[in-house]
Chains A and B, each alone.
Chain A
Amino acid sequence: MNIGIDIGSTTIKLVCIDDDNHILFKTYTRHFSKVNEYLVTIFAELMASIELDEVKISITGSAGMDIAEQLAIEFTQEVIAATVAVQKFQPHTDAVIEIGGEDVKVIFFGRTIEQRMNSTCAGGTGAFIDQMSKLLNITPQELNEIAKDHHKVYPIASRCGVFAKTDIQALLNQGVLKENIAISIFQAVVNQTIAGLAQGREFKGNICFLGGPLTFFSELRKQFIKTLKLKPNEVIFPENSEYYMALGCAMNARDLAPVKIQDIRKKLSSERIFSAVTNRLAPLFNTAAEKQEFLARHHQSDAQRIALGNYAKNIYIGIDAGSTTTKMIAIGENNEILYTYYQYNYGSVIDVVKEQLLHILNHKNPASAVHSVGVTGYGEELIKAAFNLDIGEVETIAHFEAAKHFMPEVDFIIDIGGQDMKCLKISNGAIESIVLNEACSSGCGSFISTFANSLNYTVEEFSQLALEAKSPVDLGSRCTIFMNSSVKQAQKEGADIEDIAAGLAISVVKNALYKVLRINSAADLGQNIVVQGGTFYNDAILRVFELETGTSVVRPSIAGLMGAFGIALLAKQHASDSTSMLPYADIKEFAAESVITTCRRCSNNCSLTISKFSNGNKYISGNRCELGLGLSTRNETYDVSKFKLEYLKKLNSSKHPQRIGIPMVLNMFENLPFWVAFFNNLEVEVVCSSFSTRETYEMGQHTIPSDTVCYPAKVVHGHIEELLDANLETIFYPCIVYNFKEKQHPKNHYNCPVVASYPEVINNNVSRLKNVRYINPYLSLNEKKVFTKVIKPELESMGISKSTREIKLAYETGIKEYQKYKQAIVEYGQKALEFARKNNKKIIVLAGRPYHMDPEINHGITDLLSSLDIITLTEDCVASLADHSLSQVLNQWTYHTRLYDAAKYVAESDYQGIQLVQLVSFGCGLDAITSDETKRILESRGKIYTQIKIDEMSNLGAVKIRLRSLVSTMNERCSD
């Protein structure tokens, strides 16, 4: 008898086979991280059903390594196990796709066997699907069921559950049908698998699907089949597909020495066999008295509460339509709290708000009247339009208002919600800086609740457990995805649940403080700190926060409702004679219907969701600019990125018989004028790929070798595919290590490593390039002589034979065109500055890299700015107007030199209405260095530092909050 045990991150699979590979026993069990206990049960079942004495046994699976070691059982790596089983049972397989709880594996058969596993990121795994279905408040099985009725697939960032959540939330808020979201989730998994693991090798021939998720979710399989364009006979979906690794493992055991099964069983149940390597930390309380003092201090009453039905004066309602939860509060004339509501909104925000408004109207004292209603949060505009509410305000302002109520002299507010974190620094009664978490939700509350639930506890129980911890485990402070594995490690070592709960609380706070806020000491925070947000109801988190910062803070009793409370206060302040809200009967009859269309008013082709309300109001979302709202007239405005795009679009190459292709990517956004003029001068036509779209990215995603590289680099692959489709003989994409030397003060003038040598990645990973001439020399454009010498042989290899003189001439023309372009940008900037000053308009210098103007890469942030009536400049408009020579970091990248100089210009400008926003691509290692320096420059002169992280996700929700808050702060400053 051969036994294979596959211990995955969430389940245990065990099979027992005879020597002819017949399955005699199989079981599939979720282990809830208590692998030991479940194994004991499984062994009992096994031995009850078959008589066993000596067996050959092996263990596989990501969670099986340690156990195998401790039971002295041979470990078989799971990909090896899968390979063995597939070769035996499905010999015609060309490739295997196996999705597990937290792993994705791909095996390519053929000349050689290639095996791949996802890297440390858990995006696109079973856990991801679980997490997403939780977000929709349905089971994974139901997710599969409803996905069958879909009619549209939306792009959802698949790399990381965190990003995907943001995208899904945005879709939910837009009122997109759950059916469509469900299918989009599956498509995200498909994309992630292809983008992350194909790495230039195509899924062709017979594809075998293995593992739990692919077994249980028919729609996921269908999306794979559809995306990979598989014919029915190419799909292999074997019986027992979820057991394949256990099977392979059992087959592998054949060569091992037999062992007595009783011995293993005994070992399993007898002792706790795990040794600890995870570090331990100090407990949250040293003495019972300490705990008493803490609890007493934070559980005092700080607000007067009156039952709704007993209050007979005017009522003010605040609604915080957040991304995961809806919070509502009703207050009285003296801010008495009459009614509160805090619930996950599992989908439709409108329904929740409608129900609650009716509830308040039904239960209030007949003598009272709702006088004013305000709304804030992600769903602000939608709800305001739907119910015709009195006031809407960006949530940061609402939070500030609420915090002031509890602590008038507040100078620091930290709000940690489910997956949002906001920190507001207050000085002189105005918001001085805002930190939001963007690309990352580590350090947020949903993380704790997800863990608590997966371990079968409620959040409250979990919090209480943490307070009891004797030696909390040190789980590190990074991405939640990584945290999963750390927790598992601790569990394997037999850590108590109390210690894990406390460890998680510590991680959350450390993430918030050091990763998101980047503070070094409590003094950075301020003297008067208000902590709020649902996460702070958790006493353990509150305690850790106080311990870690060495301060004592105020946590209002309505910590989770502060946004709603703030907007209620604002509604009260701005109340007119009566509320504009729909009358009771209308609310009661209220219904919303949403239609999804594509906006054709410009090339962005935004996917619009039009919500039509029964009161005749309409709300359009998904639009990047005001054109989508049906407004045809634009105010005069300046947007330099538009100007640049237009300029590049108009760079018409002259027509010649010989043509070369150039991808419109990365540094080409700046160097294109040079290359077009250069090649035209040599009588060569330049064909450019078009500006990126989502489709561009998807077209090339199967050739991306590194899934952690920045998005601007990833889209390069799609541009190359586009050029390959254009029937060109030659594609030219040079490696430019040194940028132009623009100024004297920087230590060097590099491009970043990715910009400099990405052409080599293309060369090594796009197999279709074999069919064309792909020229990617290392060049410097700085010196005519050297340039000419280096490029001459390259030109010859492209079939362009020109004399040195001709090349030099072409170089000169190219440089002229390049300088003309740069000059045009500066002049445009000048005009914009003058216009702004004259008309008292606000300016934001959107400082990033030249390629950040690509609308697919910035996701239309510039349109968003225009819609807020802001003039957009970029760093290169103003960089030449200042020199930041006293850099405290090594100033050696040209694009960053511009960034620092632009920051210095903004910092020193006498114009009140100018601010800088730094755009940072996710995964950019250099910006870890530049952002601190930029911040330092701006803050040294009292300007506000704002950073926006951009990635493949296209949801602008967080960006909008941040920009609106920035504008509101600018307004306040200007009026001072």
Chain B
Amino acid sequence: MKGAVINLAELRYSEEGRLLFTAEMKEEYKVLVPQMAPFHFDLLVEALIQEGFKAELLDNIGPNLVNEGLKYVHNDSCYPAILVIGQILDAIKNRGYDSHKVAVIITQTGGGCRASNYIHLLRAALKKSGLSHIPVISLNISKLEKNPGFNPSYKFWFKAIWSVVYGDLLMQLYNEVKPYEISDGESDRLVEQWKEQVKYSFQNSSVLNIKALKQNIESLIKDFARIPVADTKLPRVGIVGEIYVKYSSVGNNNLEDYLREENVEIVIPPLMDFLLFKLDYRALEVDWYGGKFIKKFGINLIIRWIEKLRDHSRDLLKKAGFTRPIEFVKLRQLVKGIVSRGNRMGEGWLLTAEMIELIKSGAPNIVCAQPFGCLPNHISGKGVLKTLKDRYPEANIVVIDYDPGASAVNQKNRIKLMLSNINR
């Protein structure tokens, strides 16, 4: 800007030399959030905005994402890392952001999978592209990496949980109504309308007002139940796999759109189960590897509390004629004798459990999506298919690898094989 006084925030570093996100930056910087799960992240970003961050959800897509990623990330890294980092770099370079006025936030899970290293790969990539002045914030529940300017209040964490609850609901209802809606686009409109309504309630009612939350959920479900639908039943196809390629259309070559065109009903397991899965192993570890009892107790308390809340919506869903999502504890039981509950890297046992639940709940047709060479999925994805097939002969599972160079034709052909098997 010509003539304007350029006033840059001071760059401060942690003891280990990590660039910090400061309070000053909170005032001045835009915080970019890479997209993953469209039903959830909209709400999550709103929760950030309400904390006073100038948060923006990235919506840039296209081949340049992969190109940027490949250029700055080790090419043998997993595909999600390449895409997420590619999306961030593409946005900063081509979307007119002032690189001295942006920060990036990404989630960090902290497990034994290489995904915990995304943030470091992102920093390295920023450095390589001459953008090392951009601070990167880690959003995690493992107390990794603190930042003076990133101290969201308790309200944020509640809103984050609600975002996942609402997001899961919207995703399920949309998937169950969309293929049957009589007036085209009605479900899409309702999703948008409800996203706004949720955002409004985030702003205007107390996060601890559980009653209001439950009321909201009730009318949300009712609204979807009111959409006029055709009286047909399409085959149900589940999508499971590595978390990013499972939810993100950028990661899975628009898998959901493709499947919908093929006239099936899509079933995508809830994101909340993934979070509970990540929590659950921390409690388990106390028994298996040692630790404080209070930790286990606390975690189980949180899980029970969230589950109780979900029970409310589970019952309402069932009442309204929708699928009743399985309880987390029951989900955990499903893998007994196949994989251990101790299998917790990446998607761990959850991946196997989700496949079994899909098979049992009338969606034995499954796309198991993963980045090429995904380590945990060797174990609980591809590694369990034989057993699943033995136990559930109706299982019709196709494993699809996603990769910067993988051809869409190849992927489609394999999915077609799975689809062709539905009606035989």
Contacts and interface: CB of A to CB of B under 8 A. Distances in A.
Contacts of A520: 71-72, 128-129
B135 to A, nearest CB: 16
A738 interface: yes
Given A111-B393, A782-B290, A117 B414 contact: yes
B378 A761 contact: yes
Given A62-B409, A483-B405, A925 B114 contact: yes
Interface in A712-754: 713, 735, 737-738, 747-748, 750-754
B343 A735 contact: yes
A482 B407 contact: yes
B417 A117 contact: yes
Contacts of A737: 112, 289, 342, 344-345
A928 interface: yes
Contacts of B199: none
A958 B39 CA distance: 50
A515 to B, nearest CB: 5
Interface string A478-504: 110011011011001000000000000
B147 interface: no
A175 interface: no
Contact of A928 (B76, B123, B340, B401): B76
- Most B CB contacts (10 A, CB to CB) among A75, A752, A925 go to A925
A518 B380 CA distance: 32
A975 interface: no
A131 interface: no
Contact of B413 (A77, A735, A748, A777): A77
B375 A752 contact: yes
A296 interface: no
A693 to B, nearest CB: 23
Interface string B95-131: 0000000000000000011101101110110001100
A263 to B, nearest CB: 24
Contacts of B386: 199-201, 705, 764-765
B403 interface: yes
- Most A CB contacts (10 A, CB to CB) among B113, B340, B410 go to B410
A757 B345 contact: yes
Interface in B49-67: 63, 66
B408 interface: yes
A112 B383 CA distance: 20
A476 B64 CA distance: 11
A477 B70 contact: yes
Interface in B381-424: 382-387, 389, 393-394, 399, 401, 403-410, 412-414, 416-417, 419-421, 424
Interface stretch (A265-273, A308-316, A528-536, A882-890): A882-890
A894 B409 CA distance: 41
Contacts of B175: none
A78 B123 CA distance: 46
Interface string A70-94: 0000011111100000000000000
Interface in B218-276: none
Contacts of A753: 112-113, 345-346, 375-376, 378-379
A98 B404 CA distance: 28
Given A199-B385, A783-B289, A925-B374, A778 B340 contact: yes
B293 interface: no
Contact of B288 (A483, A778, A923, A927): A778
Contact of B405 (A482, A754, A886, A932): A482
A785 interface: yes
Interface string B1-21: 000000000000000110000
A433 B116 CA distance: 30
Contacts, number: 221
Contact of A925 (B77, B380, B413, B414): B77
Nearest to B17: A886
Nearest to B379: A757
Contacts of B420: 76-77, 79-80
18 contacts: A62-B410, A63-B409, A65-B416, A115-B417, A119-B401, A476-B66, A477-B404, A489-B408, A489-B409, A705-B382, A706-B377, A713-B378, A750-B112, A753-B346, A757-B379, A761-B379, A764-B383, A765-B383
Contacts of A120: 372, 401, 403, 406-407, 410
B417 A77 contact: yes
A709 B413 contact: no
B59 to A, nearest CB: 19
B75 interface: yes
A655 B387 CA distance: 36
Interface residues of A, number: 84
B413 A65 contact: yes
A584 interface: no
Interface string A506-520: 000010001100101
A932 B342 contact: no
Interface string A761-790: 100110000000000011110110110001
Contact of A66 (B379, B387, B405, B409): B409
B92 interface: no
B421 A932 contact: no
A667 B384 CA distance: 22
Nearest to A928: B76
Interface string A452-489: 00000000000000000000001011110011011011
Given A483-B405, A929-B74, 5 more contacts: A75-B416, A489-B409, A757-B376, A764-B387, A786-B289
A931 B290 CA distance: 32
B263 to A, nearest CB: 14
A892 B117 CA distance: 10
Interface string B73-92: 01111100000000000000
B373 interface: yes
A628 B389 CA distance: 49
Interface of A: 62-63, 65-66, 75-80, 111-112, 114-115, 117, 119-120, 199-201, 277, 279, 474, 476-479, 482-483, 485-486, 488-489, 492, 510, 514-515, 518, 520, 705-706, 708-709, 713, 735, 737-738, 747-748, 750-754, 756-758, 760-761, 764-765, 777-780, 782-783, 785-786, 790, 886, 888-890, 892-893, 923, 925-929, 931-932
B70 A65 contact: no
A855 to B, nearest CB: 24
Given A201-B386, A489-B409, A754 B112 contact: no
Nearest to A252: B420
Contacts of B191: none
A892 B114 CA distance: 10
A930 B303 CA distance: 35
B339 interface: yes
B302 interface: no
Contact of B343 (A66, A760, A927): A760
A747 B144 CA distance: 10
A562 to B, nearest CB: 27
A754 B378 CA distance: 8
A705 B345 contact: no
A479 to B, nearest CB: 6
Contacts of B382: 705-706
A926 B375 contact: yes
B290 to A, nearest CB: 4
A764 B289 contact: no
B345 A760 contact: no
Contact of A786 (B116, B288, B417): B288
B329 interface: no
Closest 7 CB pairs of A and B: A478-B405, A485-B407, A778-B342, A482-B405, A750-B112, A928-B76, A761-B383
A752 B112 contact: yes
B141 interface: no
B338 interface: yes
A923 B290 contact: no
Nearest to A708: B373
Interface in B335-384: 338-340, 342-346, 372-380, 382-384
B356 to A, nearest CB: 13
